[in-house]
Structure 1
Amino acid sequence: MDGIGENVSEEAKASFWKKNIKAVPGRPSPKKDPRGNRQRNSSSTSFQDFQDSVSDAWDIGDDEFCIISDVKISKKVAQSAALSVLNSHRCPSAGETSPALKPCDFTVSEEKKIEALQYLASHRDPQMASPAHCTSTPQVPNSPHSQRQFPGRPQPLRGNTGRSKFHIQSREGADCETSKLERFQPLLETQLLNLEELRQLSWSGIPVKVRAITWRLLSGYLPANFERRQQVLERKRLDYRNLVKQYYDTERDETRQDIYRQIHIDIPRMSPLIALFQQKTVQEMFERILFIWAIRHPASGYVQGINDLVTPFYVVFLQEVIPADGDLDNWEVSSLPKEQRDIIEADSFWCLSKFLDGIQDNYIFAQLGIQHKVNQLKELIQRIDGPLHRHLQHHGVDYLQFSFRWMNNLLTRELPLHCTIRLWDTYLAESDGFASFQLYVCAAFLLHWRRELLVEKDFQGLMLMLQNLPTQNWSDSEIGMLVAEAYRLKFTFADAPNHLQSGER
């Protein structure tokens, strides 16, 4: 797959991240653009309507700057750039251009356009407006979105009986779970574990009872030798406690204080409808994990979205220590002994570190790994499903607008948490690392919604759909079908990059 992104012009590569020139820990951020106040035209009201209708994509809570993976841009510049994109979508076909909406009426640099698209792709409003506040929001006529309940966004509770959909128990049934467990347990108890056999068993899902120990083994945190495991656990957990004392519990310089401040802002926004993640104890644990990880990885530092990647590890290791019939959604973590809390925190940190080692280039300066994967996804869809690709291109939908978040957050914001955990069973079981496999998962995920996307006939409808795919009722069976389709695509295309080349752009 290395050849897929080679068609991107050198000029595009040079200008894509041109503004990132200010040095911060490990990666630069751009300076404030004094040209943010651009002349607005008569379509500003329409832009405001569009902005209101996609409240999932714009974080209206930010005051002065919009923050994109530690890249700061003026809100006025982002809106101005997005406005020019909308104007180009409104322009009729060649030969019928309206004098009031000529493309040359409003110009914007390529880097500002990319920044606006990246912001659109990476944010959603943490609060969902109630029906009383939505009377002025424009609706798309005959659009299936007018009555759709979107996943990933907080939904208003319906009466006193409403409860969160946060479940991570396997939905495959007790018999299947028991059958799987009977195959896992003897393997896990062998003196010298056969990791390849464990990967094969884990690829189709891991029983809840042995998921925590299996994830530690698959991530490389634990050794295959049974006798050495306890010794390694004790040493690594002690190492983490020492790191906390060395970096977190001491006075921070200005650079580290900036990192801590950003983490401290992001953590409360995480999973706002899941009571577990609103507990002060849990948020403090996440802060320590993310801060220590950022200090130990100065090439990337802390990047928005990494906080979402801690969640699956934390939940799996928490479930290991609470009763099987416990309400994980509302479990009071502070009631656990401190020793158990320390174990959950340390194991989450080390497994996260191992997990991110394979996708480190996703979070270094300019996030070049994600840029490359977005280009690969575009080439892949163009070859696999030409009609869908042309439909997106015809309506001006850039792959960066929706797939940046898929790549940056590994679909954690597109899927319910129990589905994310099931998906990560497969990610961790991929023998060559999941980084390449995730491309095909994203392709299969997009193709799954092909029929619904082809129904949408404008840019707004497509973006509403792509930013809010209806996965709230998904279970393990849907994830099983998704990874199976992703495996088929990988088997077909991974070793044949020339198949992805096409003269049709």
Structure 2
Amino acid sequence: MRKKKTKIAMKSQLKTSDSGSAVRANSSTLGVNLANNRQRANSADIAEERGVSMYPTTRKSEGKILRPQYKDILRDPANALNLIDHAPPPKNGSPKEVEIYSSRISRINKFKRLLQTSTVSLSELRNLAWSGIPAEVRAMTWQILLGYLPTNSERRVSTLERKRKEYLDGVRQAFERSTTPSPGNPQASSTGRGRGLDEAIWHQISIDVPRTSPHIKLYGYEATQRSLERILYVWAIRHPASGYVQGINDLVTPFWQVFLGMYMTDLNVEEDMDPGQLPRSVLDAVEADSFWCLTKLLDGIQDNYIYAQPGIHRQVRALRDLTMRIDSTLAKHLENEGVEFMQFSFRWMNCLLMREMSVQNTIRMWDTYMAEEQGFSRFHVYVCAAFLVKWSDQLIKMDFQEIMMFLQALPTRDWTEKDIELLLSEAFIWQSLFQDSRAHLRPAGDRSPENGLQ
């Protein structure tokens, strides 16, 4: 009896948590319950009210080195390809180490040759990218695969200039209305933040941004947080059907991190990298490029974030049905214990497994997602299935409460790129087996289009 009560109580708590994880801040709800939200939120979460002491203190000796040729890269990312400098092979390295080194150099050169052509072949680029993209060429490759950067080299410079200007103009339009106090808006501030904006949207963003990747120093700096806030706010007001949904803040970070690294001599910008030390032109480019690539990504999974999030519900049903086909023992055990897939996999779909992976591992996973035709929607479900089944041996020995606790804090902290590649390979196998059979993603006897993936 006690176990049953515990299960019911935990289910109630989880449902409350799930509904809260998709808090929606649409302009049509401007001001609704805002006072209550502000009372519940810690004042330190509000962007306007944060003190300088919250940000890491930058030491004079701290910071990565900006590439001297950064202006050339700003103009055309292809100029970064000529700056790739291969490290020397390992001294006294084993045959295996030498082989790994040679293989890496060979892959980088394959990407370089392809990216330097007058018109990049998307099919060839996808084939190369599926197995992972070297960090040196990742930024440009992502931008082409997402359709942000033209495949035609002659259009590249003009497209970047136009899109970056369009974004910066959008930022000014979004924020300028609150920069000057007026009788109708006496609280407008010179920061252009908060009071004259759609406060429901801004309030939630200002809470979420400081909580974004808190374990990575890069995201603790003020310049980073202000940039993420602008990206998310402009995206939200441009997409009123969805507005801002919690979880989208996580999806910006891989872009921001990868694109920032393109301008630095050290591609690892997670530590000792205060973006506030960089030229404004670099930060503007990183921000604009991140905004447009985030937009491209979300355009493909828009149903995940509109009212009632029907896309996520379809994906969760598909995951449940796929798990039944792959590992019926696990699926039946979860059912017998009263575990609903929505209780644990909503976050997997909403945040694309980013809460379960490091940013670096997410970046590697996105290499493959971008190479897939529907990587962030259809293929992601297969990845989630492979991810769930991976823990089958442990899960079938657990009761409801143990299962939920385990799935909320999976032991992936020490995962490496090899673990991600194994996961992707397993997902590819399931996709190869089932992708031509739509029925595998629907309940038996149900042929309605709303069930499973289309």
TM-score range, shorter chain: 0.7 to 0.9
Q: CA deviation at 1:281?
A: 1.0
Kindly tell me: are residues 196 and 379 of structure 1, through their superposed partners in 2, closer, same or farther at Cα, counting changes over 3 Å? same
- Find the partner of 2:357 among 388, 396, 415: 415
| Partner residue, 2:138 | 211
- Find the partner of 1:482 among 402, 411, 423: 423
Q: CA deviation at 1:49?
A: 9.7
* Contact 1:211–1:316 (CA under 8 A) maintained in structure 2: yes
| Partner residue, 2:401 | 460
Letter in 1 for 2:102: D
Letter in 2 for 1:275: K
After the TM superposition, which segments of 4 or more aligned residues of structure 1 sit over 6 Å from their partners?
Answer: 41-45, 47-51, 56-59, 252-255
- Find the partner of 1:198 among 119, 125, 136: 125
Alignment of 1:206-245 (within 5 A): 206-245=133-172
Letter in 1 for 2:361: C
Q: What is the rounded CA distance, in whole Å, between the counterparts of 1:42 and 1:429 in structure 2?
A: 50
- Find the partner of 2:338 among 396, 421, 427: 396
Q: What is the rounded CA distance, in whole Å, between the counterparts of 2:151 and 2:239 in structure 1?
A: 26
Alignment of 1:147-162 (within 5 A): none
- Find the partner of 1:385 among 289, 311, 327: 327
Q: CA deviation at 1:487?
A: 1.2
- Find the partner of 1:437 among 370, 379, 382: 379
| Partner residue, 1:186 | 113
Q: CA deviation at 1:504?
A: 10
Could you tell me the percent identity over the aligned residues?
Answer: 46
Q: What is the rounded CA distance, in whole Å, between the counterparts of 1:237 and 1:502 in structure 2?
A: 46
* Contact 1:199–1:431 (CA under 8 A) maintained in structure 2: no
* Contact 1:248–1:291 (CA under 8 A) maintained in structure 2: no
Alignment of 1:80-95 (within 5 A): none
Q: CA deviation at 1:445?
A: 0.8
Matched, 1:297 2:239: yes
Q: CA deviation at 1:174?
A: 3.6
| Partner residue, 1:164 | none
| Partner residue, 2:199 | 257
Q: CA deviation at 1:225?
A: 0.3
Matched, 1:266 2:219: no
Q: CA deviation at 1:309?
A: 0.3
Letter in 2 for 1:194: S
Q: Secondary structure at the match of 1:328?
A: coil
Q: What is the rounded CA distance, in whole Å, between the counterparts of 2:171 and 2:277 in structure 1?
A: 22
Q: What is the rounded CA distance, in whole Å, between the counterparts of 1:490 and 1:419 in structure 2?
A: 21
Q: Deviations over 1:245-297 (max 9, x none)?
A: 00123227877121111100111111122111111111100000000000111
Q: CA deviation at 1:173?
A: 5.0
| Partner residue, 2:30 | none
Q: CA deviation at 1:68?
A: 3.4
- Find the partner of 1:493 among 429, 434, 451: 434
Q: What is the rounded CA distance, in whole Å, between the counterparts of 2:340 and 2:384 in structure 1?
A: 15
Matched, 1:308 2:262: no
Q: What is the rounded CA distance, in whole Å, between the counterparts of 1:48 and 1:375 in structure 2?
A: 22
Kindly tell me: are residues 501 and 370 of structure 1, through their superposed partners in 2, closer, same or farther at Cα, counting changes over 3 Å? closer
- Find the partner of 1:374 among 300, 316, 326: 316
Q: What is the rounded CA distance, in whole Å, between the counterparts of 1:255 and 1:42 in structure 2?
A: 49
Kindly tell me: are residues 57 and 299 of structure 1, through their superposed partners in 2, closer, same or farther at Cα, counting changes over 3 Å? closer
Unaligned runs of 5+ in 2: 26-96, 179-193, 447-454
Kindly tell me: are residues 440 and 44 of structure 1, through their superposed partners in 2, closer, same or farther at Cα, counting changes over 3 Å? closer
Q: What is the rounded CA distance, in whole Å, between the counterparts of 2:314 and 2:9 in structure 1?
A: 33
* CA RMSD, 1 decimal: 2.9
Matched, 1:287 2:229: yes
Q: What is the rounded CA distance, in whole Å, between the counterparts of 2:2 and 2:19 in structure 1?
A: 24
Kindly tell me: are residues 335 and 50 of structure 1, through their superposed partners in 2, closer, same or farther at Cα, counting changes over 3 Å? same
Q: What is the rounded CA distance, in whole Å, between the counterparts of 2:372 and 2:413 in structure 1?
A: 26
Q: What is the rounded CA distance, in whole Å, between the counterparts of 1:324 and 1:275 in structure 2?
A: 16
Q: Secondary structure at the match of 2:131?
A: coil
Q: What is the rounded CA distance, in whole Å, between the counterparts of 1:48 and 1:187 in structure 2?
A: 57
Q: What is the rounded CA distance, in whole Å, between the counterparts of 1:44 and 1:399 in structure 2?
A: 19
Q: CA deviation at 1:330?
A: 2.6
Q: CA deviation at 1:213?
A: 0.3
Q: What is the rounded CA distance, in whole Å, between the counterparts of 1:44 and 1:388 in structure 2?
A: 21
* Contact 1:441–1:483 (CA under 8 A) maintained in structure 2: yes
Q: Secondary structure at the match of 2:20?
A: strand
Q: Deviations over 1:194-237 (max 9, x none)?
A: 00100000011000000000000001001110111111111111
Q: What is the rounded CA distance, in whole Å, between the counterparts of 2:273 and 2:383 in structure 1?
A: 32
Letter in 1 for 2:172: K
Kindly tell me: are residues 377 and 432 of structure 1, through their superposed partners in 2, closer, same or farther at Cα, counting changes over 3 Å? closer
Letter in 2 for 1:290: L
Count of residues in correspondence between the two structures:
358
Q: What is the rounded CA distance, in whole Å, between the counterparts of 1:367 and 1:408 in structure 2?
A: 9
Letter in 2 for 1:219: L
Letter in 1 for 2:307: F
Kindly tell me: are residues 348 and 500 of structure 1, through their superposed partners in 2, closer, same or farther at Cα, counting changes over 3 Å? closer
Q: Deviations over 1:308-334 (max 9, x none)?
A: 000100010111112227653231110
Q: What is the rounded CA distance, in whole Å, between the counterparts of 2:15 and 2:278 in structure 1?
A: 37
Q: CA deviation at 1:474?
A: 1.1
Q: Answer with 432-441 or 322-331: which moved more.
A: 322-331
Alignment of 1:25-36 (within 5 A): none
TM (normalized to structure 2)?
A: 0.73
Kindly tell me: are residues 500 and 296 of structure 1, through their superposed partners in 2, closer, same or farther at Cα, counting changes over 3 Å? closer
Kindly tell me: are residues 68 and 178 of structure 1, through their superposed partners in 2, closer, same or farther at Cα, counting changes over 3 Å? same
Q: Secondary structure at the match of 1:220?
A: coil
Matched, 1:359 2:301: yes
| Partner residue, 1:424 | 366
| Partner residue, 1:248 | 175
Q: CA deviation at 1:307?
A: 0.3
* Contact 2:333–2:396 (CA under 8 A) maintained in structure 1: yes
Q: What is the rounded CA distance, in whole Å, between the counterparts of 1:353 and 1:369 in structure 2?
A: 17
